[in-house]
Amino acid sequence: MLKNPVTLSIALALAAASLGAAAAPAEPAAHHAQHAMNPFFQQSPLPYQYPQFDKIKDSDFAPAFDRGMAEHAREIQAIADNRKAPTFDNTILAMERSGQLLTRAAIAFGNLTSTNTNDALDKLDAEYSPKFAAHRDSVYLNAKLFARIKVLYEQRAKLGLDEQGVRLIERYYTDFVRAGANLSDAQKTRVKAINAEMATLTTQFSQNVLAEVNDSAVIVSDRAELAGLSDEQIAVLAKSAEEKGMPGKYRIALLNTTGQPLLPQLDNRALRERLHKASVARGSRGNAFDNRAIVSRVTKLRAERAAIMGYSSYAAFGLAEETAKNPEAVNAMLAKLAPAAVANARKEGAVLQAMIDREQKAKKQPTFALEPWDWAYYTEKVRKAQYDFDENQLKPYLELNNVLEKGIFHAVTELYGVTFKQRTDLPVYHEDVKVYEAFNADGSELALILVDPFARSSKRGGAWMSSYVDQSALMGTKPVVAFHLNVTEPTEGKPALLTWDDVNTAFHEFGHVLHGMFSDVKYPYFSGTNVPRDFVEFPSQVNEMWSTWPSVLANYAVHWQTGEPMPKELLDKVLSAEKFNQGYTTTEYLGAALLDQRWHQVSADQLPDADGVMDYEAKALKDVGLDYAAVPPRYRTNYFSHIMGGYAAGYYAYIWSEVLDATTVEWIKNHGGLTRANGDRFRAKLLSRGGSKDALQLFRDFAEQEPDIKPLLERRGLTETPPESK
């Protein structure tokens, strides 16, 4: 996924990063001197303006935020008060250049609270979120500033600007209107209050999710209960328990998804049940980290704000600027997919139930009904029976560094001529992080990439890309982007071996990296991944295709000990099983996507209070036919971080983007596959353009056609009947 970006025009986009801000008074000179060594007070002297992680202290952020907001407030007011007639340079470009100190500090802070947080950073996050929201409002609700933008908007066709310049004016005008610039004073006052409260609540939600992941870890006392796991995996669990002050025990940490990675292997059904129930209970246990009241309040506040803006629901408001345009289009697309997905999932479930029945009969024991904690375990058994391999056969061939350097980097070199070199001279925020420099085919500098692969208690779950420095010709900046996974860190001296899902995720996230590092736009506003939410996943999904491209797979899928390539017969089994379990995969995703829409497509008075949140969720799934108990949503409401952040009413974006992705993949295959010509075309016509042109037009420019849902249905096997059990 894409982490909510804090772009260089933050200064006007802090809310998108769940950071918000009230203008602070100017600091006295003595205070300036006291913080003269603050690394944020000047541009980083490191290559690419790379952050000075070795000099950044937790105590640096508050002074940087305070001064940054004060400076930005003065810059904005100077633009608004300019007595000269508004021009593109003295209004729009002046805004693009504003807030640089605030941007530096906010970007570093937003990234560190996601990757390596602590109590001090969490406290700052909670303290400054409402201040940042107020600061953002002070910009967007500045009537004099909006009046200047409106003049330029009305004259935009006569200003002699190029396409990007005209689009930049249009985007600023739209952003101000959507923030409430045209509202009455009373409405503006209410919107400001809503924004401040939501900033506090969404920050608390995020902190609760991380706290619950750590607090809900499953503790095992008897090693025998861990049957099915390797000695290496058990050693990792033992180490985790010891680090938490529980020597002799085993600690299974949770990831943020409903499904947990050890479920396919654990033979002990009771432990599988404990693990699943611990996962789905997060955020609804009645403890200090319970998120139900926050969900209720935030969704009601969003609906209220949308109504003030003149929309029937928050989804209607949020989707107006996406490629989908309205909830009806999203509902229509999801409705095409849901019935086929659930039907396939039920057929897959019947196959699993048949295997359970056979096994229990062979053991002369009573059978049992398939439950969510059984699905992954018996899926692996069916996979082995039908395709004669299981995930554990793959792992020795999927070593992390090979996947990255011989897989992802290799594919990028073949497609785009880009090469990579590790840099050890730049500071990092955690010892797990590596830094690579990317070079164009002609040897010129392109970007810096931070690679942060391992899970830890200070890091939020999931996988994502984020940006530290956005490319911009106006600012003279090249990209500094980051690539985050949550792979289990191996014990010392052992390699990090990935699951197939980990590999696919890595290729996906690096697709976001490519979108950021290939950016070639004039203005910060349009840089890299600053595109509609339901378009941003498209390029990253296209990049997944190279994980199974024969020449790429052969290059990285080598045994970590012997260096022997993955046997062709195993490789063939991987490829033949691509549609396996797609009913489940699609249904769990659609469950979450439709939940998101149900929370955001209604008015405030239709939403439940805290006590009714889980019942509302259950009814929502039942109403759309996704209440198949064996396949719960990928995220339940109480730990659905996406929809408390930038993906609110937008989680559908993954499958919406996949329609574009599947169409594009088909085009690439029909035009030669892994070639420089295809890579250069994708870079020039789409990846480099950022948000400087209408998103769907960028797709059309590359694929030379309209989006087509058929390739997606075929890819996911939703036009076929799943294989019967043997």
Strands 445-454 and 480-487: parallel
Q: Cα–Cα distance between 485 and 301 in angstroms, integer? A: 32
Distances from the Cα of 53 to the Cα of 430, 433, 517, 621, 726, angstroms: 9, 12, 21, 45, 56
* Angstrom distance (rounded) from CA 598 to CA 189: 28
**Cβ–Cβ under 8 Å, residues 89 and 56:** no
* Active-site annotation holder among 322, 509, 588, 666: 509
Structure tokens at 51: 């952050």
**End-to-end CA gap in the chain:** 37
Q: Which residues does residue 252 pair with via DSSP β-bridges, in sequence order?
A: 218
Q: How far apart (Å, rounded) are the C-alpha atoms in residues 55 and 58? A: 10
Residue with tokens 């196959």: 351
Q: What is d(CA 231, CA 475) in angstroms, rounded to the nearest whole number?
A: 52
Q: In Å, how far are 89, 177, 467, 534, 563 from 172, measured between CA atoms?
A: 14, 9, 21, 20, 54
Amino acid at 22: A
3-state secondary structure of 227: strand
Give strand pairing partners of 483.
451, 465
Q: 301 phi and psi, to 5 degrees?
A: -65, -40
Distance CA 307, CA 607 (A): 14
Check if the beta carbon of residue 597 is closer than 8 Å to that of residue 652.
yes
Burial class (CB in 10 A: 0-12, 13-18, 19+), 439: middle
- Asked whether the beta carbons of 322 and 626 are under 8 A apart, the reply is no
> Both tokens of residue 708?
């087509």
- The Cβ of residue 555 has, within 10 Å, a number of other Cβ atoms equal to 18
The residue type at 334:
L
CA pair distance 600, 536, nearest whole angstrom = 21
Cα(510)–Cα(482) distance, rounded to whole angstroms? 9
Q: Respond yes or no: is residue 273 known to be catalytic.
A: no
CA neighbours closer than 13 Å in the CB half-sphere of residue 201 = 20
* Contacts with 107 (C-beta within 8 Å, 6 or more apart), sequence order: 6, 10, 467, 468, 469
For residues 291 and 638, what is the distance between their CA atoms, to the nearest angstrom? Answer: 6
Amino acid symbol at 127: E
Say how far apart CA 437 and CA 588 lie, in whole Å.
37
User: Which one-letter amino acid corresponds to residue 315?
Assistant: A
Identify how many contiguous H helices and E strands the chain contains and give both numbers.
Answer: 28, 7
Helix, strand, coil distribution of the chain in percent, nearest 5: 60, 5, 35
DSSP assignment of 527-549 equals -TT-S-HHHHHHHHHHHGGGGS-
Q: What is the DSSP string of 182-243?
A: TS-HHHHHHHHHHHHHHHHHHHHHHHHHHHHHHHTPEEE--GGGGBTB-HHHHHHHHHHHHH
Beta bridge partners of 497: 399
Q: Is 667 left (phi over 0), alpha (psi -120 to 50) or beta?
A: alpha
Helix or strand run (H / E) with residue 482: strand 480-487
Q: What angle do CA 213, 259, 575 make, to 5 degrees?
A: 135
Residue with tokens 């750590």: 214
Is-contact 345 631, C-beta < 8 A? yes
Active site residues: 509
